Structure 1
Amino acid sequence: MTAAHNSAIDALHTAYLAALDQGDMAAWAATFALAPDTRYFCTSAENDRRGLPLALMYDDCRGRIDDRVSFVTKVWAGTYQPYRTRHFIQRLSMDAAGTNQYRVTSGFTIMMTPEGGATTVLTSGEYRDLIEIQGDGDKFRAVFRERRAVYDADVLPRYIVFPF
């Protein structure tokens, strides 16, 4: 791995977390590759451990990621109690997964504050990513080809609108 690839992956993580914490679903979607087979999953550790394909969010192609943006910003707008999040991550491992691709595992914690309420822990877990580096020369950009958010909680403390 080059220092430029490492910096691009750090920038990707920063952009992803900033998009979610600012409620910017278009910016969230922009962190994913445009390839049709790009995927996002959010599943419980129990389902993951048991090999069950059940997921809280199951976006198995780029089109469904774009659909999620429309649902959150248009269809569900005004139908849920607003809440803010703060995401914290720590990279745990990174391995080459082919030309300009890396498998990256990171731990995460998400804090949640409902409008007019107190801050609590929403959940913690592990991101398992396939990240692709795009570009060449001195201009690199990292994007998710797959992001799997495996959350620790068996039961979440509230309904979930935004991706993890």
Structure 2
Amino acid sequence: MADLARTLAGVSRVPFLVLTPLCVLQGVALAATGGEGISLLRVSLVFVAALAAHILVNVANEVSDFRSGLDLHTERTPFYGGSGTLPASPEGLTAARMSVGASLATLLLSGVFLIWLSGPGLLAFGAVGSLCRYRLPGQRPAAYESVAGPGN
């Protein structure tokens, strides 16, 4: 169980996840200057969605780089080259792929709930975020490959 937790923490790039609450809090601070009240429920949902998106991108990238072999040819620094978790523990690949699916489900559910609470104006942000997940024409997104596996 400790190995699983260590693997998921590694591929999630936990030290960088501190950026998520900082960005959300900046948005909350800006919204508070508008004179409207702040909804703790909406702030919480935004935080959950942002954290899920951050974890999704980190883990999907780690899985993609491991599967492509890029991780085996990269010199790592604290800010470049991935965590090195999957090359060191390839048995964690299944757990990482499951983490991608769980993060995506969390992101979608919190996003749908936010749209239900706040109105359809948020759909534009979701659409832009969904379009950004594609890298090049003809390529499937890394998150899809991470969950479905190669060739599926």
TM range (shorter): under 0.3
Bigger strand fraction: 1
Q: Which has the higher contact order (CA 8 A, sep 6+)?
A: 2
TM-score w.r.t. length of structure 1: 0.21
More helix by share: 2
